[in-house]
Amino acid sequence: MMRISLHNLSKYFGDVKAVDELTLQIQEGEFVALLGPSGCGKTTTLLTIAGFYRPTKGEVRFSDRVVNDLPPRERNIGMVFQSYALYPHMRVFDNITFPLKIKKVPKKHWGTKATEVAKLLEIADLMDRVPGQLSGGQQQRVALARSLVKEPDLLLLDEPLSNLDAKLRITMRAELKRLQKDLGITTIFVTHDQVEAMTMADRIALLEGGRLQQVGSPEELYDLPATLFVAGFIGTPPMNFVEVSLEEVEGRLFVTTEHFRFPLSNGIAQKVHRMATSREVVLGVRPEDITIGQGKIEGEVYVVEPLGRDTLVTLRIGALGFKVLAPPRFRVAIGERVQLAFSMERIQLFDKATERSLLL
Amino acid sequence: MRRTITSKVVPLASFMGPSLSLILLFYFVPVVLTLLIAFTDMGRTLQWHFIGLYNFARLFGVGIRDPFILKIITNTLIYVAGALPVTILGGLLLSILSMRMHRGAGLFFRTVFFIPRVIPPVVWGFLWAWSFEGTRYGLFNAIRGAWGLPVVYWLIRYPMLIVILANAFLGISLAMLVFSSAIASIPRDFTRAAEVDGASEWQIARYVIVPALKWPILTMTAWHLMSFINSYVYIMLITGGGPYYATEVWGLYGYHVAFSQYRYGYGSSVMTVLVVVNMLLLVALVKAFGMRRMLGRGKIEV
């Protein structure tokens, strides 16, 4: 079991700052996602933690010990690669016991250890096959077994679900989460898929352009995104954004556009008072925080997309487009004019210039 | 119909014609001529006198015997058995080392070891001959001289070793290039996975890289087996087959019989045997490896 801390970690490739001043603490037994779009530096961070890259600046610490110069082979890490990297010329059994062979564990113990992890991952009946005869999901289990057999202090998963088909991905998401909780191994995984990160991780570190945007529990990132980027990246369908102005009338703060105007609740108004440096702000509203059929804002239905569990309605307010999640079997015709209301306690406001939240 | 045939024949003929006629002129015609001359006693006078199987009887020791043949066969076997493993193992070693070290350094080493391939054969041959010259002017003797050590007659004491190395270094340059490109196509994740699991460089090479090079190793082995069985150029340049037949291999013997002793008929029969051995070997190799798999895609197993 191990605590990981990254302290001002930077990795540059020439002029490219792949990771820039990343500071992050990972607790013992925690399941942490490094989330971000491609090129955000998440994989570079993972490979730096694994020891394949030396940090340009900053430190990687394993339980208080600085490991910047420790080669990967001495870190006792288990790693599952996006491609699984199973050795094609070895049987499943030989793949799983490979780390034992390297560690010079006596041969008589291989069987028990391999069987133990194989049972855990339900691949005990595949031991004599070669990787070419396995499905993607089975290959992933074998790769996991190989990374777990040596009882690592830290488990690293690079895009663990991206090579699986959509259905299997949902199953494996739950299984991975349960497995991690059962084993209690500190685990870091990299993903570009916010749903994977939300569903599996205890905490998410969201990166963009090599910089940490926000770190927190899935709920924190969803309910109180620190930046415009986080707000737009987390959640499907994504949050609606509108550029608005703040106006103060008789001591109350109003949000105004040419199409609508509403007062802020007291709680939000207080935070905005403290934080705002300019009147130009960006309003963010999640699709599920808009109700159709009540309220003072008027819009026109542009398109209706039934999703089964709910209905996605696209509205036009003047030139502005809004996506709204309405109840299932919600009936409304294209072109119809409707009233809508925002859930006032759940709206987000961001500084237009700095793109940072005004509610933190 | 006529039009389509001509429209195919004309480009085919113009593309393949020149090379096909060159192959015909310089490969098939000589082979047929050699085959014919092998049944004559042609000598300096270039007269054709067919003497049946007499030359072959002499070669195989039926009735009359060529006293050198056994020595030549032994030399050839020793030479191939020495040069082939040095080539394959040396190529593997260099490619793995150069691909696992710093990129720039690896590129430098591969360039250095590729030099033998791009310099003229005569230069390569004389470079070795001069390096191991048995006088104090030879490179290694000059070095020894600087340390006050006596001259060593390298080419007399270690002739076979020297010709094996001179040829193997050429083989290594090609094997190294082929293996390096094969190693470059092994996904990074494979070696990284092994590294995370604690493997040393040696273990990575042994358990991950070499197994992935199965096909390149097989093809290079076949290639160099055939190449070494036929080689004579560098041996001729370095030792001339000497001292006293110590490095005389089959191909060189055929050359000497024909062009030093002017026994064209007997020389041709020596070479005819080599042609037949080559053909048998080719068939055997193709059978063993499977022609389709050898020529098909995806030689590097990933």
Question: Is B16 domain-assigned?
Answer: no
How far is Cα A2 from Cα A204, in angstroms, rounded to an integer?
Answer: 18
Three-state DSSP class for A54?
A: coil
Residue B293, pLDDT score? 64
Q: Which residue of B has its CA nearest to A77?
A: B196
Report CB contact under 8 Å: B203, A102: yes
Residue B302, pLDDT score? 46
B163-184: pLDDT as tens digits: 999 999 999 999 999 999 999 9
Contacts with A102 from chain B: Cβ below 8 Å: 194, 197-199, 203
A47-72: pLDDT as tens digits: 999 999 999 999 999 988 999 999 99
Q: What is the mean pLDDT of chain B?
A: 86
Residue B2, pLDDT score? 55
Q: Which residue of A has its CA nearest to B197?
A: A99
Q: Which residue of B has its CA nearest to A100?
A: B197
Residue B4, pLDDT score? 65
**Alpha-carbon A25 to chain mean position:** 16
- Which token pair is A74? 């001495």
Long-range (24+ apart) CB contacts under 8 A made by A8-16 are: A8/A57, A8/A58, A8/A59, A9/A45, A9/A48, A9/A55, A9/A57, A9/A58, A9/A59, A9/A60, A10/A55, A10/A56, A10/A57, A10/A58, A11/A41, A11/A44, A11/A45, A11/A48, A11/A53, A11/A55, A11/A56, A12/A56
Give every CB contact of residue B234 below 8 A, 6+ residues apart in sequence: B121, B124, B125, B128, B163, B166, B167, B170
**Closest among A77, A106, A103, A101 to A90, alpha carbons compared:** A101
B13-38: pLDDT as tens digits: 889 989 999 999 998 898 898 888 88
Q: List the CATH number of the domain containing B73.
A: 1.10.3720.10
Report CB contact under 8 Å: B193, A103: no
Pairing of strands A154-158, A186-191: parallel
Question: Is B220 domain-assigned?
Answer: yes
Report CB contact under 8 Å: B195, A150: no
**Alpha-carbon A203 to chain mean position:** 8
Is the CB of residue A102 less than 8 Å away from at least one CB of chain B?
yes
Q: Which residue of A has its CA nearest to B214?
A: A89
Mean pLDDT of B145-161: 86
Q: Which of B195, B199, B211 sits opposite A89 (nearest CB)?
A: B211
H/E element, A212: strand A211-216
B289-300: pLDDT as tens digits: 776 665 655 545
Q: Which residue of A has its CA nearest to B210?
A: A89
Q: Which residues in chain A show pLDDT less than 50?
A: none
What domains, with CATH codes, occur in chain A?
A: 4-230 (3.40.50.300), 240-351 (2.40.50.140)
Burial (0-12, 13-18, 19+ Cβ within 10 Å), B260:
exposed
Report CB contact under 8 Å: A71, B207: no
Residue A173 sits at the vertex; the CA angle it makes with A171 and A174, to the nearest 5 degrees, is 70
Contacts with B207 from chain A: Cβ below 8 Å: 87, 98, 101
Using CB atoms and an 8 Å cut-off, which of residues 62-81 of chain A contact chain B? 71-75, 77-79, 81
Is the CB of residue A53 less than 8 Å away from at least one CB of chain B?
no
Pairing of strands A31-35, A186-191: parallel
Interface of B with A (CB under 8 A): 187, 189-190, 192-200, 203, 207-208, 211-212, 214, 301-302
Question: Is B238 domain-assigned?
Answer: yes
Report CB contact under 8 Å: A98, B197: yes
Q: What count of CB pairs under 8 Å joins A to B?
A: 61
If one counts every other C-beta atom within 10 angstroms of the C-beta of residue B139, the result is 14
A24-40: pLDDT as tens digits: 999 999 999 999 998 89
Question: Is B128 domain-assigned?
Answer: yes
Which one of B186, B192, B197 would you mutate to disrupt binding with A, by most A Cβ within 10 Å of its Cβ? B197
Question: Is B40 domain-assigned?
Answer: no
Report CB contact under 8 Å: B195, A52: yes
Write down the H helix ranges in B24-149. 29-37, 54-59, 69-100, 103-118, 121-131, 139-146
β-bridge partners, A33: A189, A204
Q: Which residue of A has its CA nearest to B211?
A: A89
Q: Which of B193, B203, B302 sits opposite A81 (nearest CB)?
A: B193
Q: Which of A77, A84, A103 sits opposite B196 (nearest CB)?
A: A77
Contacts with A101 from chain B: Cβ below 8 Å: 207
The tally of domains found in chain B comes to 1
Residue B147, pLDDT score? 86
B237-262: pLDDT as tens digits: 888 887 888 899 998 998 998 888 88
Using CB atoms and an 8 Å cut-off, which of residues 143-172 of chain A contact chain B? 146-147, 150
Domain around B111: 67-249
**Closest among B172, B230, B150, B192 to A77, alpha carbons compared:** B192
Question: Is B190 domain-assigned?
Answer: yes
Is the CB of residue A251 less than 8 Å away from at least one CB of chain B?
no
Rounded to 5 degrees, φ, ψ at A227 are -135, 165
Question: Is B60 domain-assigned?
Answer: no
Q: How far is B301 from chain A (nearest CA, A)?
A: 7
Mean pLDDT of B199-219: 89
Pairing of strands A240-249, A252-256: antiparallel
Q: Which of A77, A89, A102 sits opposite B301 (nearest CB)?
A: A89
- Please report the DSSP string for B78-98 in residue order: HHHHHHHHHHHHHHHHHHHHH
CA dihedral A173, A177, A183, A184 (to 10 degrees): 140
Q: What is the ipTM of this complex?
A: 0.82
Q: Which residue of A has its CA nearest to B206?
A: A102
Contacts with A88 from chain B: Cβ below 8 Å: 212, 301-302
Residue B294, pLDDT score? 58
